[in-house]
């Protein structure tokens, strides 16, 4: 069963991936795809939104005779990611309580 | 579908975007294909999904990002008609050192001229009144006196009678002319009076109209 991923969760996921290592669009998609089925949504709008919010910046790097656009996280992006992690933990423990009863503090 | 077809379809679907937005989006997908590598082209297309769907998501996201917040209606600043009073006060204050002596000098001249005009007008009115009423009055009085004095001529009855006749005639003529003058006055004095008042009011109306014209038409 696949659960639809909200756009804000997707933001958090992309930020987490970029925080680990500044990388390029195709790589981000592949990393996320390893754990999540996101064929329903393309990542370009997510990246663009994060850039507009100041959570990500881009830089170009030459690779194999062309320019490749890399994405990297900003301080603002790190702060947003911290919030995303907290939100996710709250959300997850709520669902866990309903599914499995009792939450380990 | 191959990469070229995919990109063409995508480009067309994104044509509504502004130039820069579209270029950025298309670049992302070109790079995506580049990084996937030609061997993964088909897989990449499958992963991306239909170009129409991809474009729809990009457009929706763009619209959301560029939604203009409800613009504050600019409160129409109340236009001040005519000269701003503050400006007027400032001008008056500034004008006093230079203006006052000037005003006195000019004022004296103006007053003198006005006085002359008023006196002339009064003289004219006096003359007219004199003619209108003086003559009949003179005739009446003179006629009456002559008629009365004719008694002293009783010694020469013919003379006395003639003099009495003349006096009475003058008297009658005076009365007639007097009546005529009164009639003329009733006819002419009100309009003349109104004209006189209008002439006096003219300068003030002129000033008011000038202000209305320059203040009423807002720049």
Would the CB atoms of B29 and A24 count as touching at under 8 Å? Answer: no
Structure tokens at A67: 């320019």
Sign of the torsion angle spanned by Cα atoms B5, B8, B10, B13: negative
d(CA A31, CA A80): 20
Residue B1: predicted pLDDT = 85
Instruction: Select from B32, B48, B58 the Cβ nearest to the Cβ of A45.
Output: B58
Query: Which chain A residues are closer than 8 Å to B61 by Cβ?
Result: 45, 48-49
d(CA A29, CA A34): 9
Residue B142: predicted pLDDT = 85
Query: Which chain A residues are closer than 8 Å to B29 by Cβ?
Result: 44
Residue A68: predicted pLDDT = 93
Residue B86: predicted pLDDT = 81
Query: Which chain B residues are closer than 8 Å to A41 by Cβ?
Result: 57
ipTM: 0.87
Does B27 touch chain A if contact means CB atoms closer than 8 Å? yes
Summary mean pLDDT of chain A: 90
Mean pLDDT of B41-59: 90
Mean pLDDT of B86-105: 78
- Residue B219: band (very low, low, confident or very high) from pLDDT cuts 50, 70, 90: very low
Would the CB atoms of B48 and A27 count as touching at under 8 Å? Answer: no
Stronger pLDDT, B190 or A43, i.e. the higher one: A43
DSSP state of B17: S
Query: Which chain A residues are closer than 8 Å to B24 by Cβ?
Result: 48
Q: Can you give the pTM of this predicted structure?
A: 0.51
Would the CB atoms of B28 and A69 count as touching at under 8 Å? Answer: yes
Would the CB atoms of A47 and B25 count as touching at under 8 Å? Answer: no
Does B6 touch chain A if contact means CB atoms closer than 8 Å? no
Summary mean pLDDT of chain B: 82
Mean pLDDT of B11-32: 94
Query: Which chain A residues are closer than 8 Å to B57 by Cβ?
Result: 41-42, 45
Segment A60-103, tens digit of pLDDT: 999 888 889 999 999 999 999 999 999 999 999 999 999 998 65
Report helix, strand or coil for B53: helix
Would the CB atoms of B35 and A26 count as touching at under 8 Å? Answer: yes
Cβ atoms of B35 and A26 closer than 8 Å: yes
d(CA B197, CA B75): 46
d(CA B180, CA B178): 5
Residue A1: predicted pLDDT = 66
DSSP string, chain A: --PPPPHHHHHHHHHHHHHHS-EEHHHHHHHHHHHS--TTS-SHHHHHHHHHTTSEEEEEEEETTEEEEEEEE-HHHHHHHHHHHHHHHHHHHHHHHHHH-----
Would the CB atoms of B58 and A33 count as touching at under 8 Å? Answer: no
- Tell me how far CA of residue B83 lies from CA of B100, B203, B219, in angstroms: 21, 19, 13
Would the CB atoms of A26 and B31 count as touching at under 8 Å? Answer: yes
Instruction: Select from B25, B31, B65 the Cβ nearest to the Cβ of A24.
Output: B31
Stronger pLDDT, B187 or A74, i.e. the higher one: A74
Stronger pLDDT, B47 or B219, i.e. the higher one: B47
How many CA atoms within 13 Å lie on the side-chain side of B165? 6
Instruction: Select from B48, B54, B65 the Cβ nearest to the Cβ of A49.
Output: B65
d(CA B142, CA B167): 7
DSSP H helix total and E strand total for chain B: 7, 0
Would the CB atoms of A49 and B61 count as touching at under 8 Å? Answer: yes
Mean pLDDT of B91-107: 77
Mean pLDDT of B151-179: 84
* Shortest Cα–Cα distance, B49 to chain A (Å): 7
- Greatest mean pLDDT among A22-31, B103-112, B168-177, B179-188: A22-31
CB neighbours of residue B24 within 10 Å: 17
pLDDT higher than threshold 80 for residue B62: yes
């Amino acid at each position: 069963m696949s659960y639809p991923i909200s756009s804000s969760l997707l933001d958090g996921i992309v930020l987490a991936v970029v925080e680990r290592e500044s990388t390029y669009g195709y790589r981000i998609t592949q990393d996320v795809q390893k754990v999540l089925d996101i064929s329903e949504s393309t990542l370009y709008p997510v990246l663009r939104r994060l850039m507009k919010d100041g959570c990500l910046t881009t830089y170009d790097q030459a690779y194999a005779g062309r320019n490749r656009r890399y994405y990297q996280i900003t301080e603002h992006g790190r702060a947003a990611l911290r919030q995303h992690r907290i939100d996710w933990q709250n959300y997850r423990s709520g669902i866990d309580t309903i599914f499995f009863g009792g939450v380990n503090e | 579908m191959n990469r070229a077809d995919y990109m063409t379809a995508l480009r067309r679907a994104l044509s509504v975007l502004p130039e820069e937005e579209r270029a950025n989006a298309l670049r992302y997908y070109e790079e995506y294909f580049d990084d996937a590598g030609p061997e993964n082209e088909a897989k990449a297309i499958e992963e991306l999904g239909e170009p129409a769907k991809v474009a729809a998501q990009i457009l929706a996201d763009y619209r959301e990002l560029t939604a203009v917040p409800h613009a504050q209606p600019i409160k129409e600043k109340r236009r001040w008609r005519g000269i701003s009073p503050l400006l007027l006060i400032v001008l008056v204050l500034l004008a006093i050192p230079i203006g006052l002596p000037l005003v006195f000098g000019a004022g004296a001249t103006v007053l003198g001229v006005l006085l002359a005009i008023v006196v002339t007008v009064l003289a004219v009115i006096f003359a007219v009144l004199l003619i209108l009423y003086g003559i009949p009055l003179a005739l009446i009085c003179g006629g009456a006196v002559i008629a009365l004095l004719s008694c002293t001529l009783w010694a020469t009855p013919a003379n006395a009678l003639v003099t009495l006749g003349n006096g009475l005639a003058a008297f009658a003529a005076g009365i007639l002319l007097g009546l005529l003058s009164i009639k003329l006055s009733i006819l002419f004095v009100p309009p003349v009076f109104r004209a006189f008042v209008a002439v006096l009011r003219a300068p003030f109306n002129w000033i008011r109209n000038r202000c209305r014209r320059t203040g009423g038409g807002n720049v």
